[in-house]
Chain A
Amino acid sequence: MTALLKTPSAWPRILLPDPEASDPTDLDAAVRAGAFDGLKTAVRAMTPGQIATTVGAAGLRGRGGAGFPTGAKWKAAAAAPGSTKYVVANGYGADPSVQTDRTLLELAPYAVLEGMALAAYAIGAGDAIVAIRADATEAIRRFEAAIAAAEDAGFIGSDVLETGWSLTVTVRPVQGAYMLGEETVLLKALEGKRGQPEQRPPHPSERGLFGRPTVVHNVQTLAAVPWIMRHGAEAYAAIGAKDSPGTILVQLRGPAGGGIAEVPLGTPLKAIVGLTAGGRRANTESDRPIKAVLVGGPSGGFLPTDLLDTPYDYDSLRAVDAHVGSGSIVVADDRACIVDLARLLTRFCADQACGKTIPCRIGTRRLSEVVDRIAVGTPKPTDATLAADLASDIRGSALCDHERLATLPATSAMRYFRAELDDHLLRSTCPAGVCHPIAVAVAGGAHRGA
């Protein structure tokens, strides 16, 4: 498990237990701390519609990356015709550099479970499935233990809290490529089909798992719901940014160390990056100046240091060509070359693209080739324009969000690091002395492999 970073005491802890429980699967201890209080109130005193309204009033937005309003999703699924509906908790954690979701499942299984139950009650579902990455064996073990204990205590299972409503919760270990985290792909995987996305609309809330209305939520989104039920919508809406209330788990990675932290949305990036300052002292390399921050995971955007005051929330990040995405924040110092990084990420995104559509199969690959050419100092005269055009075509004709975002590393590098790009493009030099083979002539930097 990745280390949890210490956050300022003024920052609220909603998702991660504070202090950490000695045994997160101990149901009695969890109930003493308030677990399932929200569910009790909900099933005894509230209508499903009221729950969705409360969650909507709290302003909760999906933590899976896109930030879609949760209440609206629930209302759509509740209104969709059909008696069989599903709740799917997305605990896949597609980004290889991010461990937040599995850490949450390990540390707060009951919060996720209660959130799933509340969502199921709100949309009228009888089945809830949590998809966890198969190699997160500890998270799977704990969640299965939590389900068994909660079933024994009557919080889930048949006749929930003696209301006559039944809820079956199952864990489905899934393993696959990056794309498996995307909701329509995940649903395909749960159906046992090939993992490729589907056209939306219809959204899963109308036609989801096995063609039934389904709400798919990131586990963090679900874990916030019990807190909202316990403390009220206003209390939640008061935390974080106005348009994106609440907290989110981020994963930091950089020369000054890394780890997971729960941060209120709207916190300036600078403050989040500063959380690794504790690691700074231990690391002699870390006094180097920060050059860029990559926000959003492999398909994230590079931000220059003068944008470090940007609030970390959905809309502010989108406005500067980055996104919340997987919750990953990678700090690069002056040793890194942005073009090299953009090449690595673009290549990763192209490799991971499923290939269902042509912009997916060919567009991302061509973009990766263009960035490759720029990095190795053999660009064609038109490559900069070509990359920009291609990126906008890919975005415009994309089937799924992956393609829309896969262009971000390249386009944000072009937008903010034009000087460094021009060095590669026009002068065939790499200022950081990283890029191969042109670096050999320039700085003879240390290379790994060849």
Chain B
Amino acid sequence: MSLIPGLGLARGMALTLRRFFEPKVTHLYPEIPAEISPKFRGRLQLLYDEYGTLKCETCFQCAQACPIECIDMGGEDTKGRFAVHWGASETYGERREESALRRSGRTVPDPAYEHFHEIDLAPVDAILDEVDHDPKEMLRILEAIQAAYGCVPVAALKRVSQTTGAWYAMLYGTATYYDHLAVGARDDGGPADVAFLDALDGALTGRSIGDGSAADA
């Protein structure tokens, strides 16, 4: 409490006034990088649009850019489309002990994330043996897995990642890039194209797809 009544208020107003007349600048981020304190620990958050759809396109730009590999993909979004997984809800201050691969499989309290299903990995191992665990044969491996399981299960991706040493994010990116590869269970609707065709055929034969419409596609 100051001795002169109102001094605190006047000081506050003085600051406001000073700020008011300071020149205002809009920095053209990203051309002009924002200055961020070295101690900044921003919270990573996936944003949803006004329809409740995840905005993330799983383009992996963030995962590839992240120097400490705390961002990775491995769940399912609200549309059942992509598997998105934020490594942790906070950016890490230091590199964690576990490998990026194993971290990507850990459940986090994200309602959009569902744990992957366990599968019999023997066919994956046989496929991998055939190509000598060569990560350069990625597409061949993934196509063989698709043929064996009717989809590319997340568990299989993880196995491939573990035994070939290929980064899970890269593997996942490759698998989701191709429409003829269906990541996750087959009954999740598959790629958007397939879901649209299913819906179209349904509508043509008089089976409405209900209120969800093509949004579930």
State A446–B208 Cα separation when bound (angstroms): 8
Is the pair B178, A448 in contact by a Cβ cutoff of 8 Å? no
With a cutoff of 8 Å between Cβ atoms, the chain B residues found around residue A75 in the complex are none
Is the pair A351, B215 in contact by a Cβ cutoff of 8 Å? yes
Is the pair B214, A351 in contact by a Cβ cutoff of 8 Å? yes
Within 8 A of B (CB), among A424-443: 432-437, 439
- The total number of A-B Cβ pairs within 8 Å is 95
Is the pair A433, B206 in contact by a Cβ cutoff of 8 Å? yes
Given known A-B contacts A97-B197, A135-B180, A351-B217, A337 and B203 have beta carbons under 8 A apart:
yes
With a cutoff of 8 Å between Cβ atoms, the chain B residues found around residue A336 in the complex are 203-206
With A177-B192, A340-B203, A434-B203 known, 7 other A-B pairs at CB within 8 A are A135-B179, A330-B200, A341-B203, A344-B213, A347-B213, A348-B217, A436-B211
B167 within 8 Å of A (CB atoms): no
Given known A-B contacts A97-B197, A298-B196, A348-B196, A445 and B215 have beta carbons under 8 A apart:
no
Q: Closest A residue to B139 by CB, please name it.
A: A137
Within 8 A of A (CB), among B51-97: 51
Given known A-B contacts A96-B196, A135-B178, A344-B203, A448 and B217 have beta carbons under 8 A apart:
no
8 closest Cβ pairs, A-B complex: A335-B206, A96-B193, A135-B180, A347-B214, A135-B179, A448-B207, A434-B208, A347-B213
What 1/0 mask marks residues of chain A from 208 to 242 whose CB sits below 8 Å from any chain B CB? 00000000000000000000000000000000000
Could you write out 16 A-B pairs with CB less than 8 Å apart? A134-B177, A135-B181, A175-B177, A253-B200, A285-B205, A335-B206, A336-B205, A344-B199, A344-B214, A432-B206, A434-B203, A437-B211, A446-B207, A447-B207, A448-B209, A450-B210
B207 interface neighbour in A175, A434, A437, Cβ under 8 Å: A434
B200 interface neighbour in A135, A137, A344, Cβ under 8 Å: A344
State A133–B180 Cα separation when bound (angstroms): 10
With a cutoff of 8 Å between Cβ atoms, the chain B residues found around residue A433 in the complex are 206
A73 within 8 Å of B (CB atoms): no
Given known A-B contacts A96-B196, A351-B214, A255 and B205 have beta carbons under 8 A apart:
yes
Q: Closest A residue to B216 by CB, please name it.
A: A449
Q: Closest B residue to A137 by CB, please name it.
A: B180
With a cutoff of 8 Å between Cβ atoms, the chain B residues found around residue A253 in the complex are 200, 204
State A435–B203 Cα separation when bound (angstroms): 10
A332 within 8 Å of B (CB atoms): yes
B212 within 8 Å of A (CB atoms): yes
State A347–B217 Cα separation when bound (angstroms): 10
A residues lining the B interface (CB < 8 Å): 96-97, 133-135, 137, 175, 177, 253-255, 285, 298, 330, 332-333, 335-337, 340-341, 343-344, 347-348, 351, 365, 372, 376, 432-437, 439, 445-450
Q: Closest B residue to A371 by CB, please name it.
A: B213
A448 interface neighbour in B196, B208, B215, Cβ under 8 Å: B208
Q: From residue A20, how far is it (CB to closest CB) to chain B in Å?
A: 24
B202 within 8 Å of A (CB atoms): yes
Q: From residue A287, how far is it (CB to closest CB) to chain B in Å?
A: 14
Is the pair A436, B204 in contact by a Cβ cutoff of 8 Å? no
State A365–B214 Cα separation when bound (angstroms): 12
State A133–B212 Cα separation when bound (angstroms): 28
With a cutoff of 8 Å between Cβ atoms, the chain A residues found around residue B215 in the complex are 347, 351
Is the pair A435, B208 in contact by a Cβ cutoff of 8 Å? yes
Q: From residue A437, how far is it (CB to closest CB) to chain B in Å?
A: 8
Q: From residue A262, how far is it (CB to closest CB) to chain B in Å?
A: 23
With a cutoff of 8 Å between Cβ atoms, the chain A residues found around residue B214 in the complex are 344, 347-348, 351
State A396–B213 Cα separation when bound (angstroms): 27
With a cutoff of 8 Å between Cβ atoms, the chain A residues found around residue B213 in the complex are 343-344, 347, 372
